[in-house]
Amino acid sequence: MSFDAVILGSGLGGLQCAFILAKNGMKVCVLEKNAALGGCLQSFKRGTDEFDTGFHYVGALDKGQILERIFRGFGLMDLPWHRLDADGFDQIILGGRSYLLKNGYAEYAEGLSDCFPQRRAEIHAFAGFLKDVGLHITEPLTNNGGDYSTTNPLFESNASDFLRSSLHNSLLEDVVSGASLKIELNRNSLPLYPFAQINSSYIQSAWRLRGRGSMIADTLAEGIRKMGGCIMSCTEAVSLIEKDGKITGVEVEGRTPSLMPDGRKEILEASLFVSDLSPQLTLGLLKETSAVRPVFRRRICRLEQTYGFFTVNLKIKGGKIPYLNRNVYWYSPDLDSVWDVAAQAEKGNIKGLLITQQVPSDGSPYASQMDILAPMDFSQVEQWQNTLPMRRGSAYNDFKARRAGECIRLAENVFPNLGQYTEKVFTSTPLTYRNYTGAIRGSAYGIRKDCNNLTQTLLTTRTPLPNLFFTGQNLNLHGVLGVSITSLMTCSRILGKDKVVSFLE
């Protein structure tokens, strides 16, 4: 079989690239080794209940804001989006006190200034800085169609140092960082740019889907098929075929007997390949070749990963837990700083939680489902890394049950009697994410970016092979918005920026 472009992986980045290329007349094929599309956008069913894997909320989706402009181009704005409370889309519970983060840069600054009146000038200056970052987020694409420059001073700056020098108050630093469990807060290495970009987008506006996150993947897949594209699920790429310094094909193997009986393999040919897999997995598909220098391969394979999550999905008894139209970030009172959560996770301690609920489908004022996420280092489940899903043994199940119980007890600081009001409990660990999303070591945010070693950890969409491109959260930015912008950058390298910037209009 022959195509113009083959996309490896059906995460958000892979599907968006396939959509753009198909819209520009290419015959595309998306390969996905699992049955479900979407990577972290996957949903899963337990009986009649459906839960999300990694999608919880997005920012900058109001009319004219950056994600709305991008999503409109992909036909995603017709989905049932639900706006979170503008007067408090995120709630930070820290040191026994609650802080609400508001939409709108001025409103955000005024809300925090009410809590920290001595720091009003610093807070407004910080909000202005975040606004400026949001206004210039597309410049690398619109200016030259390229990637983020490794000379960008905000990538080279340390986020923690910036907050310390700008806000002059350790508690205020923790509050403005408190909604950042959606980023790995690494005090020594986190660049300022991703911290600022992600927080800025949610301050603009914050939204949930009324329903499952997999609707995003399903909508993109439907659009790809309507434009003549092919999507092959349960089909695993097992090797990339290189000849004369270019990829000529990909060898695939069906993961279900009905697709390719008797374990037979097939080679798909194309002139262009885009990998939404991690760079490590991508290079693992490519045998030793002079086209990829050993030093490049070693560099990629040594890159560190961000932490993963232990997730507790709860089915709640009706009429017991009020639905909150916001997210709650809870931190243990004995935590010195929210920036220490990652270090505590390495020790196996749960010191921070993200608590989120599904929008009630029937309009009820009460929640029927709740997700609790706690950072978890892969070392906590490494002893079971060679086991298969559903076959990891009683010790693993006991470990998950203990962790789930602890998460529920901690969440009762926000929702009293939560355990009593819970009907069903489902759990996942970084091993689950590794198996079902392909994330190395179950990483939540891909490769750890290091402001002290930027040239090694900030990757571009280009590879040593001229017709193989990277996309996805491992490159520049993670999150729905970050991955979407990276997808545009990948396609801009292929098609030229003029055919891609229309997604920003």
Contacts (Cβ under 8 Å, ≥6 apart) of 432: 311, 389, 442
Q: What is the pLDDT of residue 254?
A: 85
Q: What is the mean pLDDT of residues 265-272?
A: 93
The Cβ of residue 199 has, within 10 Å, a number of other Cβ atoms equal to 24
Indicate whether 143 pLDDT > 80. Answer: no
The three-class DSSP label of residue 352 is strand
Which pTM does this prediction carry? 0.94
Residue with tokens 């590794």: 434
Q: Which residue has the higher pLDDT, 212 or 219?
A: 219
Q: What is the mean pLDDT of residues 144-168?
A: 83
Angle between helices 159-167 and 120-135 (to 10 degrees): 140
Res. 261 pLDDT band, cuts 50 70 90: low
What pairs with residue 468 in β-bridges? 273
With CA atoms as reference, report the closest residue to 456 among 353, 240, 303: 303
Q: What is the pLDDT of residue 503?
A: 73
Q: What is the pLDDT of residue 150?
A: 56
Q: What is the pLDDT of residues 180-205, one digit of tens each?
A: 888 999 999 999 999 999 999 999 99
Indicate whether 112 pLDDT > 80. Answer: yes
Distance CA 440, CA 228 (A): 32
Indicate whether 144 pLDDT > 80. Answer: no
With CA atoms as reference, report the closest residue to 102 among 126, 128, 84: 84
> In this prediction, what percent of the chain has a pLDDT beyond 90?
75
Indicate whether 287 pLDDT > 90. Answer: no
Q: What is the pLDDT of residues 292-316, one digit of tens each?
A: 888 889 999 999 999 999 999 999 9
Q: What is the pLDDT of residues 303-354, one digit of tens each?
A: 999 999 999 999 999 999 999 999 999 999 999 999 999 999 999 999 999 9
With CA atoms as reference, report the closest residue to 482 among 13, 56, 89, 6: 13
Q: What is the pLDDT of residues 119-141, one digit of tens each?
A: 999 999 999 999 999 998 888 77
Res. 399 pLDDT band, cuts 50 70 90: very high
Res. 100 pLDDT band, cuts 50 70 90: very high
Q: What is the pLDDT of residue 16?
A: 97
With CA atoms as reference, report the closest residue to 445 among 407, 483, 491, 485: 483
Q: What is the mean pLDDT of residues 392-402?
A: 96
Q: What is the mean pLDDT of residues 53-77?
A: 93
**Amino acid at position 312, single letter:** V
Distance CA 432, CA 452 (A): 31
Res. 9 pLDDT band, cuts 50 70 90: very high
